[in-house]
């Protein structure tokens, strides 16, 4: 079964850091682009970052310079290092497979608050 | 950045109705367009990719069409399990962008 399981969410103060992880199983992880997508409560979906099979990374302006996506193919794992967190980063963060976003994890909740 | 605009933002429909949602890109994206369904408290689910290709396991009552800047998602006969929010997303270029969503409610 193809599966993505996120972890690492939690409560963090403004300006703090958090590292999200995503464990992939049931497919050849190294063969797929991977992405992070977030959703604030009651709001729409926002693409946060993507990484190619070659390790090239991409970000929207809203997180560029603060977030870093990485992957470890040997461990079938995707990561999102989030620094200088703001209240506006509060959301459920989803790990998603491929450019088509065809497989989604269940999400992990990040709350940025003092 | 490519802006994705969905219409309507919400709609009320009855079981058995045919429903069409529109997504417009601010510039051409060929057929690099996906559609998702999301129910409250759940992760989004992929329905369609490449504008008109049905994701594996998705019922054929869902269909997509379009190319360039104008796209549609059609549900041929709305069922109770189809009441949800639907999003389009372009994957032609970075940054990836989503439409604002269309909430399909029961009339």
For residue B44, the model assigns a pLDDT of: 98
d(CA B36, CA B28): 20
What is the rounded average pLDDT for all residues in chain B? Answer: 97
Q: Out of A44, A100, A103, whose CB is closest to B100?
A: A44
Q: How far is A18 from chain B (nearest CA, A)?
A: 21
Smallest CA-to-CA distance from B46 within B33, B65, B30 is with B33
User: Does residue B107 carry a pLDDT above 90?
Assistant: no
d(CA B24, CA A108): 30
Q: Out of B43, B91, B98, whose CB is closest to A46?
A: B98
d(CA B61, CA A44): 24
For B39-91, the pLDDT digits (tens) are: 999 999 999 999 999 999 999 999 999 999 999 999 999 999 999 999 999 99
Smallest CA-to-CA distance from B79 within B20, B18, B21 is with B18
For B11-42, the pLDDT digits (tens) are: 999 999 999 999 999 999 999 999 999 999 99
For residue A32, the model assigns a pLDDT of: 98
CA closest to A101 among chain B residues: B46
Contact flag B94-A58 (C-beta cutoff 8 Å): yes
User: Does residue B106 carry a pLDDT above 90?
Assistant: no
CB-CB contact of B105 with B14 (8 Å): no
Q: Out of A44, A58, A101, whose CB is closest to B101?
A: A44
d(CA A59, CA B96): 9
Smallest CA-to-CA distance from A33 within A48, A53, A17, A59 is with A53
Q: At A65, is the pLDDT very low, low, confident or very high (cuts 50, 70, 90)?
A: very high
Partners of A96 in the β-ladder: A35, A104
């Amino acid at each position: 079964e193809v599966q993505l399981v996120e972890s690492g969410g939690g409560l963090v103060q403004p300006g703090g850091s958090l590292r999200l992880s995503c464990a992939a199983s049931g497919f050849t992880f190294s063969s797929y682009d991977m992405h992070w997508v977030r959703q604030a409560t009651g709001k729409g979906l926002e693409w946060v970052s993507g990484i190619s099979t070659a390790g090239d990374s991409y970000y929207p302006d809203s997180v560029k310079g603060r977030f870093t996506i990485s992957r470890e193919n040997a461990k079938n794992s995707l990561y999102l290092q989030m620094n200088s967190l703001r209240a506006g980063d509060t959301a459920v963060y989803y790990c998603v497979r491929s450019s088509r976003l065809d497989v989604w994890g269940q999400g992990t909740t990040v709350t940025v608050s003092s | 950045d490519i802006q994705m605009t969905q219409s309507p933002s919400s709609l009320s429909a009855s079981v058995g109705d045919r429903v069409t949602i529109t997504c417009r890109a601010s510039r051409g994206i060929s057929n690099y367009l996906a559609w998702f369904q999301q129910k409250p408290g759940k992760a989004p689910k992929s329905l369609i990719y490449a504008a008109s290709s049905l994701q594996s396991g998705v019922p054929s009552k869902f269909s997509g069409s379009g190319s360039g800047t104008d796209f549609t998602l059609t549900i041929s006969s709305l069922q109770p399990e189809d009441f949800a929010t639907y999003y389009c997303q372009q994957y032609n270029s970075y940054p990836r962008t989503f439409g604002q969503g269309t909430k399909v409610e029961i009339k």
